[in-house]
Amino acid sequence: MLNSFLTIKDILAGYKRREFSSKEVFDLCYKNISKSEGRIGAFVTLLDREGLKLSRNSIPVGHKDIFSTKNIETTASSNILKGYKPPYDASTVKRLSDKNFVCIGKLNCDAFAHGATGENSDMKVTKNPYDLTRTPGGSSCGPAAAVASGFVLMATATDTGGSIRLPSSFTNTVGIKPTYGRVSRYGVIAMTSSTDSIGHITRTVWDNAYVLGITAGFDPKDATSSHREVDDYLDTIEQGILGLKVGVPREYLENIPANIKDRFYESIKLLEGLGAKVVDVSLPSTKYAINAYYIITPSEISSNLARFDGIRFGGTRNKFGGEAKRRIMMGTFSLSAGYYDEYYLKAQKARTLIIEDFKNAFEKVDVLVTPVSPILPPKLNSIIKDTLKTYMMDVLTVPVSIAGVPSLSVPGGFIDDEGKKLPFGIQLIGNYFNEKLLYRIGYALEQETRYYETTPAI
Amino acid sequence: MRDKSGVEKISKLASLPLSEKEISLFGNQLSKIVGFVAALNRLDTNTVSPTYQVAGKVNEFREDKPSGGLSSKEALSNSPRTIGKYIVTKGVFNVK
């Protein structure tokens, strides 16, 4: 009997033992979709069930609409790309389809991945499956909501300043932002080329590690991808965390509300109980990361979005949404003559200091642990009206992005608010290319808490 | 850029047409964002070098070997205006 909320690990075992077929797994996902998608709104394109070519081992996946998918409309959830059908697949899409992941649709996001609530999408508003009046977080609102709702077993996503970790935190799912350059960016519509990281969202840590083993690795089509050999992310996952040094950076907890802080320290106690040694650490420059981020990001966006001229593909530039226009304007300003040194160059120097902070910290500890978000999932149509408040939602996730280190968001439990149980996430930050250790710690936590078993009532 | 002509200058540089309403809205919002990021000035960076590539990569070379690419039909499949195997662009020298 198939449970409504499957994991990749379950179905790989089920396929092997011939307990059920891939047809049954896809039927179940489509059943969940027809039951709840009307209320959730995760997909911008849903493929016809009958048109899918399944093999015995197929696994249903959804791609964030920012990944190019051959002959399937790819809009980055923006009006300017309406009707655009890429003639090729992103490298990550290709690697996954070679390993039995079959795309069932494209998932909503903030247009061009600019946002923290999903509400900058030109297409639709995605709801949080744990409370339909709230945002599932952004920019990867569709991927997180689709995985949490049992529509797909895994969704690809991108994280430039928190766009995977934040929605994972808000939907009780697991999200990886790999080291910059670990996964190819080829075929993913570019936002901030120096921080864009390609990752994915799953229900469990094991599933997440399994998928990174497929997507990671050098790609000749992305000159910034790393030649470094890909680790086996699963072989030590069950090893436990006895003796590991866990750092809690005090600056990250300065402005966190008590309800989030209390639950966060429960996870820290749990890590201690599992044999880790908890150490107080300081990363003094990281508080400037949010300021540097909102210079670097719009600057690189203004350059990357210059290619949208309505001549080779897509519509004309007046079709950009408000947030894209705002970022193009800010970026053009900070790169313009007379301001470059004051803004962009200054931010890139700040980046050097932020990297040094992380390097110093990782000489003392194996991993840093923080909350993912300073707030609980906001109500829809609330925070989005205040641009700077929305930007501040990324305050705990952007230092990682600026430095390029890897980070894993794992469920940290639920917090009661207005009669609803709202998920919140724990961020595990590792040294460059040490995703393997993050999975080991995340897995140890997950085995104790099993929060993924608490599924939304949708 | 805080005033109207400043916003108009940036919009021209960005080749981004804005309505009157957007010009006044963005003038206001961008001033706030500029004020927000200016907090960075509290950080002393006099002796610090900038980092542009976090993974420390410098150049990436690949073999100069021809390989398959898109057909011209595929490459032109999303272009709004084409003639034969060509994309029709806006004029460069005939625009004032």
- Please check whether residue B27 lies inside any domain of the structure: yes
Residue type, A448: E
CA distances from A434 to A74, A294, A387 (A): 32, 27, 34
- Name the minimum distance, in Å, from the CA of B4 to any CA of chain A: 13
B11 touches chain A (CB under 8 A): yes
**Range scoring the smallest mean pLDDT among A198-202, B7-11, B27-31:** B27-31
A303 touches chain B (CB under 8 A): no
CB contact under 8 A, B90 and A387: no
Domain A8-284+353-453, second-level architecture: Alpha-Beta Complex (3.90)
Q: Nearest chain A residue to B49 by CA: give it.
A: A349
Query: Do residues A168 and A130 touch, judged by C-beta distance below 8 A?
Result: no
- Please check whether residue B88 lies inside any domain of the structure: no
The pLDDT value given to residue A4: 81
What are the DSSP calls for A431-450, one per residue?
STT-HHHHHHHHHHHHHHH-
Distance CA A113, CA A163 (A): 7
Of B10, B45, B51, the CB nearest to A332: B10
Task: Indicate if the pLDDT at residue B69 is higher than 70.
Answer: yes
CB contact under 8 A, B26 and A224: no
pLDDT tens for each residue of A172-203: 999 999 999 999 999 999 999 999 999 999 99
Which residues on neighbouring strands pair with residue A367, listed in sequence order? A246
Distance CA B11, CA B18 (A): 7
- Please check whether residue B61 lies inside any domain of the structure: no
The pLDDT value given to residue B2: 66
User: What is the domain count for chain B?
Assistant: 1
Residues of the domain holding B25: 4-41
Which residues on neighbouring strands pair with residue A248, listed in sequence order? A280
Chain B residues with CB-CB distance to A84 below 8 A: 78
Report ipTM (2 d.p.). 0.94
Which CATH number goes with the domain that contains B29? 1.10.20
Which residues on neighbouring strands pair with residue A67, listed in sequence order? A188
Which residues on neighbouring strands pair with residue A159, listed in sequence order? A197
Chain B residues with CB-CB distance to A403 below 8 A: 54
CB contact under 8 A, A294 and B37: yes
Distance CA A318, CA A307 (A): 14
- Please check whether residue B49 lies inside any domain of the structure: no
Q: Nearest chain B residue to A299 by CA: give it.
A: B14
pLDDT tens for each residue of A323-336: 999 999 999 999 99
Distance CA B25, CA B53 (A): 34
Round the CA-based radius of gyration of chain B to a whole number and report it.
22
Query: Do residues A404 and A386 touch, judged by C-beta distance below 8 A?
Result: no
Query: Do residues A141 and A64 touch, judged by C-beta distance below 8 A?
Result: no
CB contact under 8 A, B54 and A351: yes
Indicate the pairing of strand A101-107 with strand A59-64: parallel
Backbone φ and ψ for A172, nearest 5 degrees, come out as 60, 35
Size of the A and B interface in Cβ pairs below 8 Å: 144
Task: Indicate if the pLDDT at residue A78 is higher than 90.
Answer: yes
pLDDT tens for each residue of A136-164: 999 999 999 999 999 999 999 999 999 99
pLDDT tens for each residue of A199-238: 999 999 999 999 999 999 999 999 999 999 999 999 999 9
- Please check whether residue B13 lies inside any domain of the structure: yes
Query: What are A10's two structure tokens?
Result: 């379950």
- Please check whether residue B80 lies inside any domain of the structure: no
Q: Which of B16, B72, B83 to mutate to test the interface with A (most CBs of A within 10 A)?
A: B16
Q: Where are the domains of chain A?
A: 8-284+353-453
Alpha carbons within 13 A on the beta-carbon side of A443: 21
